[in-house]
C-alpha cells in the first residue's frame, strides 16, 4: 500500500495571511478604545455660547452701536509697550533658550564658547 500524498500547503502564505488578519483584528479592537480628540470635545461649544449670549440679551442684534473696547489713550500705550518688546537689544551671551528644571539649568542655541 502506498501512502496518499498530503495536499501541498505553502506555509509562508498561511503565516502571512494569519498575520494580516491578526493585525487587522488588533487595529479594529484598539480603534474602539481611543477617546475623542480635542477637536471632537470642542464640537458645539460656539453654538452653545452664542445661544447663552442671545438669551442674556435678546435685543443685542438690534443695537447699532459698535462694541466698545479700550480708550484710544490706553490702546496707544498698550501697543507702544508691545512694540517695544520687539525692538529691545538682547543681552550679551544670549541667543538661546534657557530651561530651568528645579535647580538644573540647561542653555541651548549658543555658538559654542565657555558659559
97-101 and 104-108 strand pairing: antiparallel
Question: In this model, does residue 115 exceed pLDDT 50?
Answer: no
First to last CA, the chain: 90
SS3 46: helix
Q: Provide the residue ranges of all domains of the chain, joining segments of one domain with +.
A: 9-58
Q: How far apart are CA 71 and CA 80, in angstroms?
A: 14
Percent above pLDDT 70 for the chain: 71
pLDDT, one tens digit per residue, over 87-112 is: 876 555 555 666 667 766 555 555 54
Name the residue with higher pLDDT: 21 or 104: 21
What is the pTM (predicted TM-score) of this model?
Answer: 0.27
Minimum mean pLDDT range among 43-52, 61-70, 88-97, 103-112: 103-112
- Contact predicate 110/96, CB 8 Å: yes
Residue carrying C-alpha cell 509562508:
12
pLDDT at 71: 84
pLDDT at 38: 81
Amino acid at each position: 500500500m502506498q501512502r496518499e500524498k498530503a495536499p501541498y500547503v505553502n506555509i509562508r502564505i498561511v503565516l502571512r495571511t494569519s498575520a494580516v488578519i491578526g493585525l487587522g483584528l488588533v487595529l479594529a479592537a484598539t480603534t474602539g478604545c481611543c477617546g475623542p480628540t480635542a477637536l471632537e470635545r470642542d464640537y458645539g461649544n460656539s453654538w452653545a455660547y452664542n445661544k447663552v449670549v442671545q438669551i442674556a440679551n435678546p435685543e443685542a442684534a438690534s443695537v447699532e452701536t459698535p462694541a466698545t473696547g479700550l480708550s484710544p489713550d490706553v490702546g496707544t500705550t498698550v501697543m507702544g509697550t508691545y512694540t517695544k518688546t520687539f525692538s529691545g537689544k538682547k543681552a550679551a551671551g544670549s541667543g538661546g533658550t534657557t530651561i530651568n528644571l528645579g535647580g538644573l539649568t540647561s542653555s541651548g542655541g549658543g555658538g559654542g564658547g565657555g558659559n
